[in-house]
Amino acid sequence: MTPVIEAEGLGMSFGGEEVLGEIYLSVGEGEIFGLIGPSGAGKSTLTRLLTGYLRPSRGSVRVFGRDPCAFGAADRRRIGFMPQGFVLYGGLSVRQNVNFAAGLYGLRLGERRRRVREVLEFTELWKDRRKAASRLSGGMQRRLQLAAALVHEPQLLFVDEPTANLDPILRRKFWEGFEVLRDMGRTVFVTTQYVGEAELCDRVGLLSGGGLAAVGTPEELRRRAFGGEAMELTLAGEPGRLGRHLDALEGVGHVVEVREERPGDGAAASTVRLVVEDADTALPRAFEALRGAEVLSADLIHPSFDEVFVRLVRG
């Protein structure tokens, strides 16, 4: 995969206080890369370094093989940037705002008309094109900013906290739009504080305390956090009476949790979480190890990305 973004030892300090330190990162062409982290972790600062709005205190960054701080107009046209806050003109209509953005990027009149309509249809704003931007809802203003960032057909799109404070339906629409762009060969770099959105990215960087705790695909990070795949087996009986069965399961994988359950009939049961290298091959071995026990259920589980984030950040 051709790298579009490359950062080596990237660091940033303000007034002697380190905000980001030792960032090593590579983002490939045609992928959705999610930078995940809590508010204040440094996501916006890193985005501004990658787009050339800030000059790093240490290290280097290359976007399309060049220092973004040295970008000319032609380089800038390859990039789109959607900031977190609303920065367009409230007194202009939806169409006028996007048309103005297209003019800044040098689109000729015929091409400008075509692209304005295309991006407003893409963001589902065409029917509202005559409305003043100040009269739009917060979610519609966010979509208008996305349209303005896409009107010049950038190869690389940066979006800073695009789904903050949006309802789940609108958040899903944004991600569907990013997937369409990815499928067109564009690269989308998204920052978000919603850890669960990591599942929607091709690769993820977990940012905490000014550093990258981990980078990889969602599945790679899940396996790294838990040491493999996780299964849950529910057995009849209290945990204290399962000693030999738990010992036998240790030969299949690693028992990380045993908790008591009380089904509706009141009978005691125990749920065992087992981490294994490969669940498909481990499941029959687990049943063999549990010979003589009453197995009530067996399920492959996918721990939430909140769990993954906490484990990787805490080390």
Q: What is the pLDDT along the chain (315 residues), one digit of tens a residue?
A: 789 999 999 999 998 888 998 899 999 999 999 999 888 888 999 999 999 999 999 999 999 999 999 999 999 999 999 998 899 999 999 999 999 999 999 999 999 999 999 999 999 999 999 999 999 999 999 999 999 999 999 999 999 999 888 888 888 999 999 999 999 999 999 999 888 899 999 999 999 888 999 999 998 998 888 888 888 999 888 888 888 888 999 999 999 889 888 766 667 888 998 999 888 899 999 999 998 888 988 998 888 888 888 888 876
> CB neighbours (10 Å) of residue 210?
21
Query: What per-residue confidence (pLDDT) applies to 190?
Result: 97
Calpha distance 263→178 (Å, rounded): 43
Query: What per-residue confidence (pLDDT) applies to 17?
Result: 87
Phi-psi region of 155 (alpha: psi -120 to 50; beta: other; left: phi over 0): alpha
Non-local CB neighbours of 33 within 8 Å, separated by 6+ positions: 5, 27, 187, 188, 189, 190, 201, 202, 203, 204, 205
Tokens describing residue 188: 């989308």
Tokens describing residue 128: 């509202």
Rounded to 10 deg, the angle between the 94-104 and 109-122 helix axes is 130
> CB neighbours (10 Å) of residue 161?
21
Rounded to 10 deg, the angle between the 168-183 and 138-150 helix axes is 10
208 touches 214 (CB < 8 A): no
274 touches 233 (CB < 8 A): yes
Query: What per-residue confidence (pLDDT) applies to 228?
Result: 87
Query: What per-residue confidence (pLDDT) applies to 223?
Result: 87
148 touches 140 (CB < 8 A): no
Within 13 A of 297's CA, how many CA atoms are on the CB side? Answer: 11
First to last CA, the chain: 29
Q: How far is CA 109 from the centre of its chain?
A: 36
Which strands make up the sheet holding 254-261, listed edge to edge?
Answer: 254-261, 269-276, 229-236, 295-301
Query: What per-residue confidence (pLDDT) applies to 15?
Result: 86
Tokens describing residue 23: 């960032």
